[in-house]
Chain A
């Protein structure tokens, strides 16, 4: 109980911290925030349930008004902005990512990478695009076209998530709780 709680809280703090440290520049010079990578890591490292709870806890704190989202945003306003779908999709993305890592028994690097792509990108964009279509009053294909430009960056983040998870699994096998 205490261990689960501490992991959930510390990973929620990790997501927040990833939004606070200055932007990373990934390969190809795409400047992006690492925050959505934190969401993927919650799934691959903590597993489905704990990962989703960690993301949910983070969102509760954002809704309460703490400026934890990348760029120092927070408060109820972000839930009235066009990107609300992505926020709602975050815990579900972490859950799906964690579920795949838990259930798919294969070497961790390909599993974590494809889990991050399926959960952290595909599932996330379904929610993000639906949310954007609703908020901007567009058709779903139109909203999809608008979010296309962010997909390459997120794919890179998913690959980085796979590498980080595999690195942790190699150096400290006990830390990958989703495989515990």
Chain B
């Protein structure tokens, strides 16, 4: 539901050309965020920081060409779209997002495709991301223990090798437990 509103609102934001309307929608999005309280607002602001380099670029660009209104439109639109999208992510629990994904996948299941492989792989990624990151950290430590040079791209090769090993083990474990689609 929230996702549908978000998509519609984002399309609308890109259709709007008038800076006044865009400013109004930004105020609306900001009001939604502020209604979540002080800490909520602060972390929402932090997630907007990725826009700073782009906003500076836009400001510099339009400062040179003199098309201030066009620059304002772009900047306001970006801010409003990002604020709104972040608001939806921040107010939606992960389990709810997964539920939405399951609903979107339901038609596929009715057509006879199995979505189990997809669900299983999501669980696998969540489990193995910290494990691989930890191994990367250990490889970096081993590097630092032996070399005065800074850790470089070279550690990615053993890291990829461990990922391949883990994949083989996971594949065997899955097969031993009846495979992806136990019938």
Binding site for B on A (CB under 8 A): 1-3, 5-14, 16-18, 20-22, 24-27, 34, 37, 41, 45, 57-58, 60-61, 64-66, 68, 71, 73-82, 135-138, 142, 146, 157, 160, 163-164, 167-168, 171-172, 175
Contact = CB atoms under 8 A, between A and B. Distances in A.
B133 A21 contact: yes
A38 to B, nearest CB: 8
Contacts of B47: 73, 75, 77
Interface string B33-72: 0000000000000010011001001100100000000100
B122 A60 contact: yes
Nearest to B51: A81
A13 B124 contact: yes
B171 interface: yes
Given A17-B129, A137-B74, A64 B50 contact: no
Contact of B89 (A18, A76, A81): A76
A76 B85 contact: yes
A3 B122 contact: no
Contact of B117 (A5, A13, A172): A5
Interface of B: 3, 6, 10, 47, 50-51, 54, 57-58, 61, 70, 73-74, 78, 81-82, 84-86, 88-90, 92, 94, 97-98, 101, 117, 120-122, 124-126, 128-133, 135-137, 140, 150-153, 156-157, 159-161, 163-164, 166-168, 170-172, 174-175, 179-180
29 contacts: A2-B172, A2-B175, A5-B120, A6-B124, A6-B167, A6-B174, A9-B128, A9-B167, A10-B167, A13-B131, A14-B132, A14-B163, A17-B129, A18-B159, A21-B133, A25-B150, A57-B122, A64-B98, A66-B94, A75-B47, A75-B90, A76-B89, A77-B47, A77-B85, A81-B51, A137-B70, A163-B157, A164-B156, A168-B157
Contacts of A20: 129, 133, 136
Q: What DSSP secondary structure best describes chain B's contact surface? A: helix
A116 B141 CA distance: 28
A5 B172 CA distance: 11
A76 B105 CA distance: 18
Contact of B163 (A10, A61, A157): A10
Contacts of B160: 14, 41, 45, 164, 168
A79 B85 contact: yes
B35 to A, nearest CB: 18
Contacts of A175: 161, 164
Given A17-B130, A25-B151, A77-B47, 14 more contacts: A2-B170, A9-B125, A13-B131, A16-B129, A16-B132, A17-B129, A41-B156, A41-B160, A64-B98, A77-B82, A77-B86, A78-B50, A80-B81, A172-B164
